[in-house]
Chains A and B, each alone.
Chain A
Amino acid sequence: MRLITATGLTLQQAGKTVMRDVDMHIDQGEIVTLVGPNGSGKSTLVKGLIGAIKPLSGNVETMRGIRIGYVPQSLHMDGLLPLTVSRFLCLPNRHSKDAMARALTEAGVPDLAKAQMRTLSGGQFQRVLLARALLMSPDLLILDEATQGLDQPGAADFYRKIEHVRSHLNCAVLMVSHDLHVVMAASDRVLCLNGHVCCEGTPEVVQGAPEYQALFGTGDSGAFAIYRHQHDHHHHHDHDHEEHDHA
């Protein structure tokens, strides 16, 4: 089922066109990743898709009654607004205590219900945001640089959580990230952005595309290759093993 379709989408921010002529769609259950250098319009595109920015031209069609779980890039909590985690989880829709406890456990922070939001560490904060998104039983989960401020193991753990959530809820996931090697490997489709869609396809296709290599050079694709290589190696090893058995 098609959840969201953008057609000829052109978006401006602060009077400047940052995204032009985007055609894209997200289907139920797939993981789509947006990659691109800083200022390439990734977050702007996300805001356009959720309707936070009105398009200059083109349009966005969403499935009727779609539930979007959105984990923003950052959420500034300055301490003026007193807010416990459980009160935060009930914005804008209230949930039962049980449901909240389950979501917090699912997100990996079972003991935080009564904590004040502004006392959370970066990793706890992101997980609470995830718990809030999960409580909406989303059709589409949007993660905008959700692992910012997490260290490598923390980020890897976070993505494992996402993968688990996706298979559990059968929701689609739209991710924006810099952690190219981890994120791309976990994606069904990748869109490479730089003011427009440069190239798109499976991670392998995008990684091999000259547009992608022009943007990211060999450094990141190197890391990506290493990650994939481990997979290859793993398969290769299995293969060896089988041969060995045969022998």
Chain B
Amino acid sequence: MTTKNMTMLDDFLVRAGLAGIGTALAAAPLGCFVVWRRMAYFGDATAHAALLGVAMSLAFQGPIMLGVLAAALAMAILVQTLSGRGLAEDTLLGVLAHSALAIGLVAVSFLSGARLDLMGYLFGDILAVNVFDLALIWGGAAVVIALLAWRWQRLLTATLNPDLAQASGISFRTEQMVLTVALALTVAVAIKAVGALLIGALLIIPPAAARPLARTPEAMALITAAIGSGAAIAGLGASFQFDTPTGPTIVCVAAAFFCASALVARLRA
């Protein structure tokens, strides 16, 4: 605070806070669809593939987010191609999610340790976010939100019932693909803030907490965004206060929101 030309973004805590909010905003509407369509495992498999993307980026010395985006997209498309071909859905997703994580860990081990902070990619390293990361996070979040807002009515109809959508000229497969792309983008946006292992938590817990408080899909998405952002800020503060790892602390706060909302729902019923 002593330097006169120090701007707000020079403060690492402010950058971390903005990164957390950007990630929460991208995850909010998508997380709602993940909950509504029972895609939790699908989200996990896609997020776990992110580590493989990190390894690829490091090997080819490309930008991390691009590698993560490519790996997440490839995994999401693989899941869609393989689903409905005999194996039960949860088994298939379990196989793919854990394999992707293991292959990612092995691939990363081939790379020299100096360049790599494995924990950072598994659980996020939000305090190390720089201005360039911040631009990517907010840019990616804007794309995800714009994409979902554009397709909102169609996505909701397809979520309700595929045949109902088809009768109105809405292709279930197209909308599924829209969600897949949005999911891959969100994983790429979130890897820096919460890491590959906790992206799933950020997708599921805030909408689950918002559900009892909402009467319409739009309200649920907005409440989810508020809860996610709140968890990011409060988690950041708590981790600073208690010197705990930031990504997991954010998820802990989100989980506390979930308990509170479940309690409220219980008391009202």
A residues near B (Cβ < 8 Å) are: 47, 50-52, 68-70, 72, 75-76, 80-84, 87-88, 90-94, 116, 136, 142
Contacts and interface: CB of A to CB of B under 8 A. Distances in A.
A75 B217 CA distance: 17
8 closest A-B pairs by CB: A70-B167, A52-B166, A92-B157, A50-B167, A91-B157, A81-B36, A82-B214, A92-B153
6 contacts: A68-B167, A75-B164, A82-B211, A92-B154, A92-B157, A93-B153
Contacts of B211: 80, 82
B103 to A, nearest CB: 32
Contacts of B216: 82-84, 87
A82 B218 CA distance: 9
A47 B163 contact: yes
Given A47-B166, A69-B167, A91-B157, 12 more contacts: A52-B166, A72-B161, A75-B161, A75-B164, A80-B211, A81-B159, A82-B215, A84-B215, A84-B216, A88-B160, A92-B168, A142-B167
A175 B160 CA distance: 22
Contacts of A72: 161, 163-164
Contacts of A80: 35-36, 38, 211
Contact of A50 (B153, B154, B166, B220): B166
Nearest to A70: B167
B150 to A, nearest CB: 13
Contact of A81 (B163, B167, B217): B217
A153 B164 CA distance: 27
Contacts of A81: 36, 159-160, 217
B157 A51 contact: no
| Interface residue SS majority, chain B | helix
A51 B153 contact: no
B221 to A, nearest CB: 10
Contacts of A94: 153
Nearest to B219: A82
Contacts of A93: 153, 168
Classify chain B's interface size.
20 to 34
B170 interface: yes
Contacts of B220: 82
B157 to A, nearest CB: 4
A52 B160 contact: no
Contacts of A90: 153
A70 B163 contact: yes
A130 B100 CA distance: 46
B154 A51 contact: no
A75 B165 CA distance: 12
B231 to A, nearest CB: 20
A139 to B, nearest CB: 12
Interface in B211-243: 211, 214-217, 219-220
B217 A82 contact: yes
A165 B165 CA distance: 22
A90 B156 CA distance: 10
B162 interface: yes
Given A52-B167, A68-B167, A84-B216, A91 B160 contact: yes
Quick one: which of B161, B164, B220 has the most chain A CB within 10 A? B164
A177 B36 CA distance: 30
Quick one: which of B156, B167, B215 has the most chain A CB within 10 A? B167
A116 B160 contact: no
Quick one: which of A91, A94, A136 has the most chain B CB within 10 A? A91
Contacts of B215: 82, 84, 116
A185 to B, nearest CB: 27
Quick one: which of A76, A92, A136 has the most chain B CB within 10 A? A92
A92 B157 CA distance: 6
Contacts of B172: 52
A82 to B, nearest CB: 5
B21 to A, nearest CB: 24
Contact of A52 (B157, B163, B217): B163
A68 B170 CA distance: 12
Contacts of B35: 80
Nearest to A129: B164
B232 to A, nearest CB: 24
A51 B215 CA distance: 32
Contacts of A47: 163, 166
Contacts of B162: 52
Interface string B89-128: 0000000000000000000000000000000000000000
Contacts of B167: 50, 52, 68-70, 142
A171 B166 CA distance: 19
B217 A87 contact: yes
